[in-house]
Structure 1
Amino acid sequence: MLLARGAVAPVLLPGEVEGMAVLGHQALKELLSHPEVAKNARHFTALREGRIAEGWPLMTFTTVAGMTTADGDDHRRLRSLVSSAFTARRVEELRPWVEELTDTLLDRLEREAVDGVADLRRHFALPLPMGVIGELLGVDAGYRDRLHGLTSVVVATDTGPEQAVAANRELVAVLSEIAAAKAEHPGDDLTTALIAARDEGGDRLSPQELVGTLLTMIIAGHETTLNLITNAVRALCGHRDQLDLVRKGEANWADVVEETLRWDAPVSYFPFRYPVRDLVLDGTTIPRGTPVLAGYSAAGRDPVAYGPDADLFKVTRTARNLSLGHGSHYCLGAPLARLEAGTALERLFTRFPTLDLAVPEAELTRHAGFVGNSVRALPVRLGPSAAYQPYEPPMAPR
């Protein structure tokens, strides 16, 4: 584990690019809110000097025009244009619809099962957040599988240059097509609102910012929650005692979500931040212009922050985690992700109370990249559905 090397450690990124990873909880918290750490790639020394090749698998993270690569006024402007869709009040208004979609997908999951076994990631954990963000953005259902396939390539860190360039070009083309259709035929959705929105100075989003914002929202709006639901189900199946605590009322589903975020973060190492001057964190100097990874997985297991049992999954734990960010770039969709994951878990384990993994945990194939943190598939054995359990008459008195 990288954390054993210290709270801040050097890493070698794809393409032999030198970087750093911040792994300790406190050091990461400081990095995420430090006033002299930027997100805009103009501060990335190696890129500015032309030492990053086209097709670098992390190029989209680095150069996409949107909130995740903006600083200061630009960041505030871009964030303000979408923030109203993700307030706690607006998210709570979505609850009945999220619950209805969850139940529909559970019906489908049961139909897809063969001999009681189904891929929960493919048939439930994926279509739930993709369906929600798709509806919010007004993206037709016919685009969603294609968008997931393309964004999966974009967020991977082990793709070759030709594949990375091709996926990025196709993704930009698809999103531009969606935006053009919305401009011609507006709807009651966030994409239409973004096209029409003006900031206080009267400026609209540029075409590049619009596509970048859509890209960011689609990736963040489904990949993170997809991994969160998948990882939470794995955790509960491997820790039945913790599931029992929820069923006995000693913890709730929100507690499960928070502990999963800490113990098995949906994003391991998120690119990039750049110190605008040499920066010292936890006694280690990070040179100006170095690409820095935010190490959420490592920080979640930091014993300094969470005690000697930091490696244990405990739903009664109360310490806060950083897995959805901190500071001005805190995840805008965090309330929605928590709603989706909590609803998914509660209704899944209520519907299928004996649900368990269909293969040993060690046989699950993990993603090869270091950004998204989960497994490629999650075969589960559903067990009897609580909605269809046969009636058993009471025992006759003796």
Structure 2
Amino acid sequence: MQSPQCPFAIDPSGADIHGEIARIRKEGPVARVELPGGVVVWSVTGYDLIKQLLTDPRVSKDAYRHWDAWKAGEIPQDWPLAIWVSVQNMVTAYGEDHARLRKPVASAFTARRVASLRPRIEEIARGVLDGLAALPPDRPVDLREAFAHPVPNQVMCELFGIPQHMRGEIQQIIKGFFSTTSSAEESLANATRLYATMAELLVLKREQPGDDLTADLIAVRDENNEQLSEKELADNLILLYTAGYETTVNLIDNAVHALLGHPDQLALVLGGGATWDDVIEETLRLEAPGAHSILRYAVEDIAVGDVVIPQGDPIMIAYAAAGRDPEHHGDSADRFDVTRAARREHLAFGHGVHYCLGAPLARLETAVALSALFARFPGMSLAVAPGQIRPQASFISNGHAELPVLLGPSA
């Protein structure tokens, strides 16, 4: 049983996410960990327990109703991670509020609507690859910045009707949103900048509505105040854009990194022995795009073995742990294998009522991006040894700071 007086301190830089998770897992199915700013939470690392808690009505995501320390004002306003719990959108809502906030968005991510985006995604990917093909083939390129970022960025900007002059600003804000090494002052400044930019976007889209998701949500808000408040409108847009964008960037980044680091697996795919869908699912299992989920709360006391999570305590779900749980995936859990029978048995997009609405779009974007990338640059290789590639400075977002590659000749 975890000692209550010695919580494990999470490294804000995310320098060794999987190593930390392995050490936390040794403390038991749930263990107390300390987040930046001194906030202590319960970390859950087991696949089966995570899946159980994600559908447990005794677990909430609404800090305003169920996190005792937040309600009592014990969490300072300048807590560096405050933006993750202060937003009021469908992901942080509970019960009827969650259903109310999710409903206006669900229609935008139906299978038919997502599938209809494929031709445009293919066109965007080709355009980005054309730019890369113009570069010297023997010069290292940061593929995360030059490919994994711009493809989903343009897809999301068009889906949400983000005007061209705002796209760079929003991209920089999102990068700051996921940085967990920022100071309290930097985090507060980024949150202020985020809301100011969202307010500017809403004014612009009300003046110049278009055929996009932002305009659709504005229409819901303006036609029915009870369906969506102004803050909920802004917070839902923040969620949809940041989560949908960063998740896909990390998925593309991690998939390319895994394939280039395992040439045998890449050869298997290119030879027809496995599909890009297999690559995507195994990448999601091995490297969940979101390592840790901030936060959930115990609505009442929850017994887990000989540990009790008290009512009102915060809970952190370790999605990156679920896919590598040796109790579920065995001794090979840390190995990348696109033919793994259990490659789809991960929780990278969540589970239950909060399952990610954008998962089909992220999968589609990644499949298009990977197939187009390796068709254009079949001889691509890492420009440095795999151990020299640094993770980004975050224990929440699971990707790389850079992904240097040598593209080789364009096909």
Settle same-fold status: TM greater than 0.5: yes
Matching residue's letter, 2:59: V
> Where do 4+ consecutive residues of structure 1 move more than 4 Å?
198-202
> Contact conserved, 1:27 with 1:282, CA < 8 A, in 2?
no
Which deviations, in whole Å up to 9, do the C-alpha atoms of 1:110-165 show, x marking residues without a partner?
33557432111111100111111111110012212211211221222221111111
Aligned pair partner of 1:164 in 154, 164, 187: 187
Matches within 5 A, 1:223-234: 223-234=246-257
> Contact conserved, 1:228 with 1:260, CA < 8 A, in 2?
yes
Matches within 5 A, 1:198-277: 203-277=226-300
Which deviations, in whole Å up to 9, do the C-alpha atoms of 1:259-307 show, x marking residues without a partner?
0001011111011110101112354322222221110111111111112
Q: Which residue of 1 aligns with 2:402?
A: 377
Give the whole-Å Cα distance in 2 for the aligned partners of 1:235 and 1:264: 9
Aligned pair partner of 1:8 in 27, 30, 45: 30
Give the whole-Å Cα distance in 2 for the aligned partners of 1:103 and 1:324: 27
Deviation at 1:201, TM superposition (A): 7.0
Matching residue's letter, 2:341: T
Aligned pair partner of 1:128 in 146, 151, 174: 151
TM-score where L is the length of structure 1: 0.94
Which deviations, in whole Å up to 9, do the C-alpha atoms of 1:29-51 show, x marking residues without a partner?
01111111001002112212222
Give the whole-Å Cα distance in 2 for the aligned partners of 1:57 and 1:100: 39
Give the whole-Å Cα distance in 1 for the aligned partners of 2:246 and 2:135: 22
Relative distance call for 1:54 and 1:19 in structure 2 (3 A) is same
TM-score where L is the length of structure 2: 0.91
Matching residue's letter, 1:18: V
Alignment gaps of 5+ in structure 1: 387-398
User: Aligned residue pairs: how many?
Assistant: 386
Matches within 5 A, 1:46-125: 46-112=69-135, 115-125=138-148
Give the whole-Å Cα distance in 2 for the aligned partners of 1:253 and 1:282: 40
Give the whole-Å Cα distance in 1 for the aligned partners of 2:222 and 2:331: 49
Alignment gaps of 5+ in structure 2: 1-21
Matching residue's letter, 1:181: L
Deviation at 1:361, TM superposition (A): 1.5
Give the whole-Å Cα distance in 2 for the aligned partners of 1:338 and 1:201: 33
Q: Which residue of 1 aligns with 2:42?
A: 20
Relative distance call for 1:378 and 1:282 in structure 2 (3 A) is farther
Matching residue's letter, 2:383: A
> Contact conserved, 2:45 with 2:318, CA < 8 A, in 1?
yes
Aligned pair partner of 1:29 in 51, 67, 70: 51
Secondary structure of 2:34's counterpart equals: strand
Matching residue's letter, 1:100: E
Q: Which residue of 1 aligns with 2:382?
A: 357
> Contact conserved, 1:91 with 1:336, CA < 8 A, in 2?
yes
> Contact conserved, 2:259 with 2:266, CA < 8 A, in 1?
yes
Q: Percent identity?
A: 47
